[in-house]
Amino acid sequence: MSNELLNEVTFFVLSIFVGIEVISKVPTILHTPLMSGTNAIHGIIVVGAIVIAAGANSPVTIILGLVAVTLATTNVVGGFVVTDRMLEMFKGRQSPKPATPVTPTK
Amino acid sequence: MTTLIQIAYLVAAVLFILGLKQLSSPKGARNGNFIAAVGMVIALAATVPLLHFTTAGVIIIAIGVVIGAAVGAIGARMVKMTAIPQMVALFNGVGGGAAALVAVAELLRFGQHPSFTEAFPSVFSIVIGSVSFAGSMVAFAKLQELMTGTPITYPGQQIVNGILAALILGFVIAVLAVASIPFSFISLMVLALVLGVAFVLPIGGADMPVVISLLNAFTGLAVAASGFTLNNFALIVAGTLVGASGSLLTKLMSDAMGRSLANVLFGAFGQTRTGAAATAGIEGRSVRSGSAEDIGTLLAYSQRVIIVPGYGLAVAQAQHAARELAELLEKRGVEVSYAIHPVAGRMPGHMNVLLAEANVPYEQLKEMDEVNDEFKNADVALIVGANDVVNPSARNAPGSPIYGMPILNADQAKNIVFMKRSMRPGFAGIDNDLMYDPKTLMFFGDAKDSLTKLVAAVKAA
């Protein structure tokens, strides 16, 4: 196994644990926004799409690159915007902290 | 220079992790989304300067980015809040499609005999990405009601799916061990697309959120695999983060419905018959229905009313009318709260989003555990377009497809007003005994019209 591949596998395995750990305490009401947010993050494929499109030099690679960049950009832009729209609804709507009862000094 | 890229990718990865962390807490969710978007911009900005562009490459990237950004931004801005679930499905599907295409382009570049470490992640990405694309499109069609939301099953379905899986395995081996030629990996892609469709068809519309979440995790893994193909750390880390957190989220969602993931995905097989038998058993029973005036009076002279909103309310855009009715009742001294089932609407948390949009005070929204003991003290449970989440057969009919799902105890209220468009069973396709309960008054009609009528009736009472 080459050094680079070994590094990649290391990142892969550690990312699995981080991914699970980081969202383990999500409350039910945030399931939909969280799903939508992770959906936007896998829009990182746009980086891959741009890498393959950059070197396009034949009809086949041009079409592949064009479609891949279009789809990936839709994913990343739509994903972040729709998540933001959802979360906008929650703005300033956190349940108010229970007012601390004023304990009269005796 | 490559060092700089690696550092930028590291920063992006950290921002994705922090973003996810914030997204899962109510306080910082919106910030979390923004942080992740910044990470995305950094990853892109670091990648572009080092590429060698052909002229064609520059042109197609410009066109693709403009079209994609326009479609994504306009689609996300224009979509109604009620249609958000299918929009997420759509955005997820195109991501999976992009991952598969990136892998196809790389396989073409590798030539006929790529090494195993080049070919394996590529075919993985093609298969998983294509399944995610096609499956998401079916999920979209089901939720958008372009096709029936009920599970589609046919004889020999499992055999057909088995053959598909076997063919896919065959082509995977062909690409890996024999030769990587366009015929094999294009066939692989087509077969995986068909598998994606076949996978989602037998799953009912009510379970689509769980399926979309699973396909979201799939896309994450496909992206990670494409990262291995391109030796790109940003893709590997971000894709894997989504794959892992998406898998956990899928499990949390099916837990919220009180079911196992296997039951959600494969439950349609063999369960349609029990559903039919259950329906046959209650034919011929009568229901009571009430007029707007009857119900308006009942509500106006109650002390405690609990509103149970469901998808019908969302579809009819009736959240504003519901708030108006609630405010009117409160002026008369009636205590009003909303009982939110974790999967009310079509996605967990969907109903909170909708009611927040209508400016319903946050304190009135009560989660299932909090509100379930309050039903027995409520004078009226007003069910607006909800069905499966108040269906007592989840509690007492072991043969029912939703048996075991935690439900709202609306049946314990002194009176039940069931607002519904018709007697048609709910999204899960199961009849609801609560409609035949002697305490229940049915009120038929579109949720918004009905609520408006009730507002008028309460004013008159």
Number of domains in chain B: 3
Q: What distance in Å separates the CA atoms of residue A43 and residue B314, rounded to the nearest whole number? A: 29
The β-bridge partners of B340 are: B367
A47 located within any domain? yes
Separation in Å, CA of B273 to nearest CA in chain A: 32
Q: Mind telling me the catalytic residues of B?
A: 388
ipTM, 2 dp: 0.86
In the chain, the amino acid numbered B295 is I
A80 inside domain: yes
Separation between Cα atoms, residue B305 and residue B380, nearest integer Å: 5
Residue B111 lies in a domain: yes
Instruction: Choose among B217, B243, B242, B239: nearest CA to B228.
Output: B239
pLDDT, residue B427, reads: 59
More confident residue, B29 or A45: A45
Residue B280 lies in a domain: no
Distance in angstroms (rounded) separating the CA atoms of residues A13 and A2: 17
d(CA B386, CA B427) in angstroms, rounded, equals 10
pLDDT tens track for B140-180: 999 888 888 788 888 888 889 999 999 999 999 999 988 88
Distance from C-alpha of B237 to C-alpha of B88, rounded to nearest angstrom: 22
Q: What's the total number of domains in chain A?
A: 1
Question: What is the per-residue pLDDT for A98?
Answer: 41
H or E segment and range at residue B339: strand B335-340
Residue B304 pairs in a beta bridge with B335
Looking at residue B22, what is its pLDDT? 92
- Find the CB nearest B54 among A56, A64, A80: A56
Task: Please report the DSSP string for A2-28 in residue order.
Answer: -HHHHHHHHHHHHHHHHHHHHTTT--G
Domain that holds residue A63: 43-87
* B443 token code pair: 């009120």
Smallest Cβ distance to B61: which of A41, A50, A76?
A50
Q: Phi and psi of A55, rounded to 5°?
A: -95, 15
Same domain, B29 and B134: no
Contact B29 A30 (CB under 8 A): yes
Domain boundary (B18, B45, B77) is at B77
Domain holding B52, by residue range, is 1-77
Question: What is the Cα–Cα distance from B384 to B345, expressed in whole angstroms?
Answer: 11
Taking contacts as CB-CB distances below 8 angstroms, the residues of chain A near B20 are 19, 22-23, 34, 37-38, 41
Pairs across A and B, CB distance < 8 A: 381
pLDDT digits (tens, 9 = 90+) for A3-43: 889 999 999 999 999 999 998 888 877 888 899 999 999 99
Here the tokens at position B162 are: 């088995």
Q: Is residue A78 part of a domain?
A: yes
Give the model confidence (pLDDT) of A49-101 as tens digits. Answer: 999 999 999 999 999 999 999 999 999 999 999 999 888 876 544 444 344 44
- B377 interfacial to chain A (CB closer than 8 Å): no
The pLDDT score that the predictor gives to residue B429 is 64
- The rounded mean pLDDT for chain A is 85
Interchain contact, A42 vs B242, CB within 8 Å: yes
pLDDT less than 70: residues of chain B: 1, 258, 268-285, 346, 348, 424-429
Chain B residue closest to A79 (CA)?
Answer: B91
As a whole number of angstroms, the distance between CA B237 and CA B229 comes to 13
How far apart are alpha carbons A69 and B336 in whole angstroms? Answer: 50
Cα-only R_g, chain A: 22
- Residues whose CB is less than 8 angstroms from the CB of residue B368 and which lie 6 or more positions away in sequence, other chains included: B339, B340, B341, B342, B406, B408
Alpha carbon B297 to its chain centroid, in Å, reads: 38
Looking up tokens 């319903």, which residue turns up? B360
Instruction: Give me the residue from B52, B117, B219 closest to A55, CB to CB.
Output: B52
pLDDT at residue B130, rounded to an integer: 97
* Inside any domain, residue B275: no
Closest-CA residue of A relative to B53 is A54
* pLDDT value of residue A100: 42
The answer to whether residue A75 sits within a structural domain is yes
| Tens digits of residue pLDDT in B175-194 | 998 888 888 899 999 999 99
Contacts of residue A33 in chain B, CB cutoff 8 Å?
Answer: 23, 29, 33, 349, 353
The tally of CA atoms less than 13 A away on the side-chain side of residue A92 is 3
* pLDDT of res. B425: 66
